[in-house]
């Protein structure tokens, strides 16, 4: 790939001290380097404001890990896209497999959230991917096709993240052949759905991305970047992902 995008999904991690440590370590790196991969941090909701302040005047971007589909109202415990937009968030991860599982999020709900995010000027990062069982049964394409059809709106202005569930947090990374096959399949479906625009949608890979496998992943031409969980809260390793991306940057 060229010009990789690196998105750190902190998940439910990041106490105030940890947040300050992660972000300040990254800022030290960004100050020393002029031209590096686009890097976006997605801390938990409560740390968005702190991270926003810290990354001010830096090239780092900010994303959230979810949002509601309504802009405001009686939804105890939820955060709306309007609230995210108000504090200066630019991206939002939607339909992550952990939310699909833990909160029973359906494609239909992810679709509503995606539309709401776009309407508030946020770039949705819509996650799709199959379970181990589904892959064992060779059903990965049909699963991903249903997720794409069900979760993406008629007009889509965002990114797609292919995250095979069996590779998330397990240390098992999909191999390059598996990733390439699925990225090509997703691209075909996006082009069928959006025509020329479907060619421009960025497709990311996520699932046990680490410093020792990321170079091979960056080398996949059809990919636009990586969505990183565990390593995103280990600043020295996350910086390695950014560093290794250097050689894939084209001006
Ligand atoms: P890991 O990198 O920890 O496998 O998590 C991937 C992920 O779920 C990113 O959204």
Q: Give the pLDDT score at 161.
A: 98
Q: Give the pLDDT score at 30.
A: 94
Catalytic entry in 96, 98, 105, 130: 96
- Which ligand 1 atom is at minimum distance from the Cα of 97? 8
Partner residues linked to 205 by β-bridges = 162, 226
74 alpha carbon – ligand 1 mean position (Å): 31
Catalytic entry in 33, 134, 163, 196: 163
Q: Give the pLDDT score at 160.
A: 98
- Lowest mean pLDDT segment, chosen from 18-22, 31-35, 118-122, 149-153: 31-35
Residues 2 and 250 sit within 8 Å (Cβ to Cβ) = yes
How open is the CA angle 225-229-235, to the nearest 5 degrees?
90
SS3 state of residue 90 = coil
User: What is the tens place of the pLDDT at every residue in 89-137?
Assistant: 999 999 999 999 999 999 999 999 999 999 999 999 999 999 999 999 9
163 is catalytic: yes
73 alpha carbon – ligand 1 mean position (Å): 31
User: What is the tens place of the pLDDT at every residue in 147-161?
Assistant: 999 999 999 999 999
229 alpha carbon – ligand 1 mean position (Å): 3
Token pair in block for residue 185: 């399949």
- Which ligand 1 atom is at minimum distance from the Cα of 207? 4
Residues 65 and 45 sit within 8 Å (Cβ to Cβ) = yes
The structural domains of the chain, with segments of one domain joined by +, span 5-248
Q: How far apart are CA 97 and CA 105, in angstroms?
A: 9
- Which ligand 1 atom is at minimum distance from the Cα of 169? 4
Q: Whose CA is nearest to atom 7 of ligand 1?
A: 229
Confidence of residue 57 (pLDDT cuts 50, 70, 90): very high
User: What is the tens place of the pLDDT at every residue in 186-218?
Assistant: 999 999 999 999 999 999 999 999 999 999 999
Confidence of residue 35 (pLDDT cuts 50, 70, 90): confident
Domain boundaries 5-248, CATH class: alpha beta
Q: Give the pLDDT score at 85.
A: 98
- Does position 9 have pLDDT exceeding 90, yes or no? yes
- Does position 2 have pLDDT exceeding 90, yes or no? no
Token pair in block for residue 113: 């959230």
Q: Whose CA is nearest to atom 2 of ligand 1?
A: 229
Q: Whose CA is nearest to atom 9 of ligand 1?
A: 229
**Best residue for ligand 1 mutational test, from 9, 43, 128, 210 (most atoms within 8 Å of Cβ):** 9
Q: What is the pTM of this model?
A: 0.97
Q: Give the pLDDT score at 251.
A: 63
Q: Whose CA is nearest to atom 1 of ligand 1?
A: 229
Percent of the chain with pLDDT over 90: 92
Q: How high is the mean pLDDT of the chain?
A: 96
How open is the CA angle 95-93-168, to the nearest 5 degrees?
70
**Cβ < 6 A, ligand 1 pocket:** 9, 96, 163, 168-169, 206-209, 227-231
Task: Give residues with Cβ within 8 angstroms of 235, minimum separation 6.
Answer: 21, 22, 25, 26
């Amino acid at each position: 790939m060229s010009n990789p995008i690196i998105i750190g999904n902190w998940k439910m991690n990041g106490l105030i001290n940890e947040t300050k440590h992660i972000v300040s370590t990254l800022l030290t790196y960004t100050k020393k380097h002029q031209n590096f991969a686009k890097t976006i941090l997605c801390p938990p909701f409560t740390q968005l404001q702190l991270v926003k302040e810290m990354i001010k005047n830096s090239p780092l971007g900010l994303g959230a890990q979810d949002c509601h589909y309504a802009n405001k109202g009686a939804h105890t415990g939820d955060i709306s896209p309007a609230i995210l937009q108000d504090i200066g968030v630019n991206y939002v991860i939607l339909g992550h497999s952990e939310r699909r599982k833990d909160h029973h999020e359906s494609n239909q709900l992810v679709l509503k959230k995606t539309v709401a995010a776009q309407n508030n000027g946020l770039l949705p990062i819509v996650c799709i991917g199959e379970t181990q069982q589904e892959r064992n049964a060779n059903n990965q394409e049909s699963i991903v096709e249903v997720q794409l059809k069900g979760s993406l709106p008629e007009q889509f202005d965002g990114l797609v993240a292919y995250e095979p569930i069996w590779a998330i947090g397990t240390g098992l990374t999909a191999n390059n052949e598996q990733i390439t096959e699925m990225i090509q399949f997703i691209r075909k479906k996006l082009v069928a759905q959006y025509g020329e625009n479907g060619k421009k949608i960025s497709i990311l890979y996520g699932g046990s991305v680490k410093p020792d496998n990321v170079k091979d992943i960056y080398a996949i031409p059809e990919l636009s970047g990586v969505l990183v969980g565990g390593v995103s809260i280990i600043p020295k390793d996350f910086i390695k992902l950014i560093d290794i991306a250097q050689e894939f940057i084209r001006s």
